[in-house]
Amino acid sequence: MNGWEIIRGLGVTLGHFFDTYLEDIRWKGKRYRTKEGIEGRRNASVRGAFTIQYPEEKLPVWEEFRYLPFLVYDISAEGEREIRCTACGICSKVCPPQCIWITRKKDPETGRPITKPEVFAIDVDICMNCGFCAEFCPFDAIKMDHEYEIASRSRDGNIYQLEKLLKSKDYYHSIRPNNSSREEKEKLEKEAEKLKKSESTV
């Protein structure tokens, strides 16, 4: 060892340093804070600085990126919010760190439980973003969000309640267009098959 490797390493750093200025000139000021600039710097063949100036710049996330879960609601023909969750409890059973709490609503007249959640809460300090809840939900009612900027100075409010967890079907489609289109298609196919079966038995 005669220090040659250290000199070689410093040479690589110096090369990146000068390449950064050359690339800045080549991009004519569009290398930073533009979508193309960010894409250019995350490319494997990038020259010069490849870092992202977060939080001013953010890397777009892939469709399958997952952070915290949220609950999907549809809008009925009357314009009412329809929560897909039936409070079946499967997600809370499969959740490895057991951070989902659910109780069912009760029919005000009979007092019997109905298929709607009264309480649906997730402790986001415990959630490990595994996505099991979304994988196992039989009603496509819980999905994994892309929102990751949730850091706060306090733990107060880190148990997300039903209202905070609710997001529209359109929002779900906007972050996961392929998944949501595939699920819609499967749902329509199932409904058509059901209809066909019921017609054939009449």
In the complex, which residues of this chain contact ligand SF4 (CB under 6 A)?
69, 85-91, 95-97, 99-100, 102, 122, 127-133, 137, 139, 141-142
Q: Using the minimum distance from each CB to ligand SF4, give the nearer residue, 38 or 95.
A: 95
Query: Which residue lies nearer to ligand SF4 by CB, 38 or 165?
Result: 165
CA–CA gap between residue 122 and residue 98 (Å, rounded): 9
Cα(171)–Cα(141) distance, rounded to whole angstroms? 13
Min dist CB 65 to ligand SF4, Å, is 13
With beta carbons less than 8 A apart as the criterion, state whether 148 and 70 touch: no
SS3 label, residue 134: helix
Q: Rounded distance, CA 107 to CA 100, Å?
A: 23
Is the bond preceding residue 55 a cis peptide, omega within 30 degrees?
yes
Q: Name the residue nearer to ligand SF4 (CB basis): 23 or 140.
A: 140
**Closer Cβ to ligand SF4, 133 or 175, answer by number:** 133
CB of 71 to ligand SF4, least distance (A): 6
* Shortest distance in whole angstroms from residue 67 CB to ligand SF4: 9
- Quick one: 49 or 94, whose CB is closer to ligand SF4? 94
For the CB of residue 176, give the shortest distance to ligand SF4 in the complex, in Å.
15
Give the Cβ contact number of residue 129 at 10 Å: 14
CB of 194: closest distance to ligand SF4 in angstroms? 20
Cβ at position 197, least distance to ligand SF4 in Å:
24
Q: CA nearest 162: which of 77, 73, 78, 97?
A: 73
Nearest to ligand SF4 of 41, 143 (CB atom): 143
Distances in Å between the Cα of 132 and the Cα atoms of 38, 129, 136 are: 32, 8, 6
Contact residues for 121 (Cβ-Cβ < 8 A; gap 6+): 100, 101, 102, 159, 160, 161, 162
